[in-house]
Amino acid sequence: MTLKTETRHAIDPETARGLDTEGLRRHFHVGGLFTPDEIRLVYTHYDRLILGSAVPVARDLVLDHVRETGTPGFLDRREAAFLNIGDAARITVGGKAHDIGRGEVLYVGMGAGPITFSAPGRFYILSAPAHRSCPTRLIRREQARRVEMGAAETCNQRVILQFLHPDVCESCQLLMGYTQFSPGSIWNTMPPHTHDRRMEAYLYFDLAEEQRVFHFMGQPRQTRHLIMANEEAVISPPWSIHCGAGTAAYTFCWAMAGDNVDFTDMDMVPMEALR
Ligand SMILES: O=C[C@H](O)[C@@H](O)CC(=O)C(=O)O
Ligand SMILES: [Zn+2]
């Protein structure tokens, strides 16, 4: 079987407060992605966002029927985005081939049909329910919206590349992109924020094997941490902050689903409010 799907239920912040490390990881940390010749999906009950991976090596991988969605085809009532974190490869959707380089994103609209992933791509999968069909589109790095943030003195100089963003590519509710650091900068999203209107998921990648990112979550006055290795993901509930510091440089893909697609709609948490 080349498709493995796991379900994560949504939990409330009071329940999350009482969890130990293992419990927090069971609910919010996602390991085991990027297994060769498999499609792995995590169906979350946070805005029904699905995240996962497809790593075709010896053969093409096809994403079509996923029992958890209750529809004959995966994209019948959903939209998706695929980020290639591997070498240049091909994704075929509805008979059309898209050559997708490293760091590029393919947006696929509702109803586009089965998706075929070809080697040597290493694909991060994101999908959310959709209510209409937006055009399928390959987005190159230079087409993404660039937002420069932070400073070297605060170890958080970084560029946010926004791919699924209203100014770049139309979607129903998926907003996504990735953030890359300048050498010596390791802090993402500090000071942090919440956005109760949208959940978020992070995938940490381009992190050296022996390095880790300390990812922070929880309500602003009840913070917890999760230790993340390369190519591991974390689910951020709408009530949670999401930020992190690495022991070395890394890149992370952020993705959101929910009530709006306004990237700047955040409730900033001043550092003095954190506990
Ligand atoms: O809601 C937005 C997300 O948390 C991320 O885009 C933040 C981020 O990439 C960063 O500050 O580096
Ligand atoms: Zn956020």
Comparison of pLDDT for 221 and 1, the residue scoring more? 221
Whole-number Å distance, alpha carbon 134 to ligand 1 midpoint, is 24
98 is known to lie in a ligand binding site: no
Asked if CATH classification 1.10.530.10 holds for the domain at 3-15+29-139, the reply, yes or no, is no
Does residue 100 surpass a pLDDT of 90? yes
The reply to whether ligand 1 has any atom less than 6 angstroms from the CB of 188 is yes
The reply to whether ligand 1 has any atom less than 6 angstroms from the CB of 160 is yes
Digit-coded pLDDT (tens) for 10-36: 999 999 999 999 999 999 999 999 999
Q: Are 90 and 56 in contact (CB under 8 A)?
A: no
Question: For residue 25, what pLDDT is reported?
Answer: 98
Q: Averaged over 74-93, what is the pLDDT?
A: 98
Does residue 1 surpass a pLDDT of 80? no
Does residue 194 surpass a pLDDT of 90? yes
**Token pair in block for residue 68:** 């958890």
195 is known to lie in a ligand binding site: yes
- Residue 74 CA to residue 68 CA, distance in Å, equals 9
Residue among 126, 189, 203, 269 to mutate when testing ligand 1 (max atoms within 8 A of CB): 189
- Residue 233 CA to residue 211 CA, distance in Å, equals 15
pTM score: 0.98
- Residue 263 CA to residue 149 CA, distance in Å, equals 14
**Angle at Cα 206 formed by Cα 90 and Cα 186, nearest 5°?**
145
Residue among 47, 164, 188, 235 to mutate when testing ligand 1 (max atoms within 8 A of CB): 188
Question: For residue 141, what pLDDT is reported?
Answer: 98
Q: Averaged over 84-90, what is the pLDDT?
A: 98
- Residue 10 CA to residue 126 CA, distance in Å, equals 17
- Residue 39 CA to residue 1 CA, distance in Å, equals 9
Q: Averaged over 89-103, what is the pLDDT?
A: 97
Q: What are phi and psi of 22, to 5 degrees?
A: -60, -45
Q: Does 3-15+29-139 match 142-273 in CATH topology?
A: yes
The reply to whether ligand 1 has any atom less than 6 angstroms from the CB of 24 is no
Share of the chain above pLDDT 90, in %: 99
131 is known to lie in a ligand binding site: no
Question: What pLDDT band is residue 157 in, cutting at 50, 70 and 90?
Answer: very high
- Residue 40 CA to residue 176 CA, distance in Å, equals 19
Distance set, CA 218 to CA 32, 225, 237, 239 (Å): 23, 8, 8, 7
The closest residue, in CA terms, to atom 7 on ligand 1 is 189
* pLDDT mean across residues, the chain: 98
The reply to whether ligand 1 has any atom less than 6 angstroms from the CB of 44 is no
Neighbours of 130 (CB within 10 A): 20
Whole-number Å distance, alpha carbon 192 to ligand 2 midpoint, is 8
**CATH class belonging to 142-273:** mainly beta
Q: Averaged over 210-223, what is the pLDDT?
A: 98
**Token pair in block for residue 41:** 């999906």
What b-and-e string marks burial along 5-21, b requiring 16 or more CB atoms within 10 Å of the CB? eeebeeeeeeebeebee
The reply to whether ligand 1 has any atom less than 6 angstroms from the CB of 200 is yes
Whole-number Å distance, alpha carbon 35 to ligand 2 midpoint, is 27
- Atom number, ligand 1, closest to the C-alpha of residue 189: 11
Q: Are 58 and 78 in contact (CB under 8 A)?
A: no
Question: For residue 94, what pLDDT is reported?
Answer: 87
Digit-coded pLDDT (tens) for 41-77: 999 999 999 999 999 999 999 999 999 999 999 999 9
Residues lining ion ligand 2 (Cβ < 5 A) are 200
Map out the domains of the chain as residue ranges.
3-15+29-139, 142-273
Question: For residue 151, what pLDDT is reported?
Answer: 97
Comparing CA positions, the residue from 121, 110, 48, 112 lying closest to residue 82 is 121
193 is known to lie in a ligand binding site: yes
Share of the chain above pLDDT 70, in %: 100
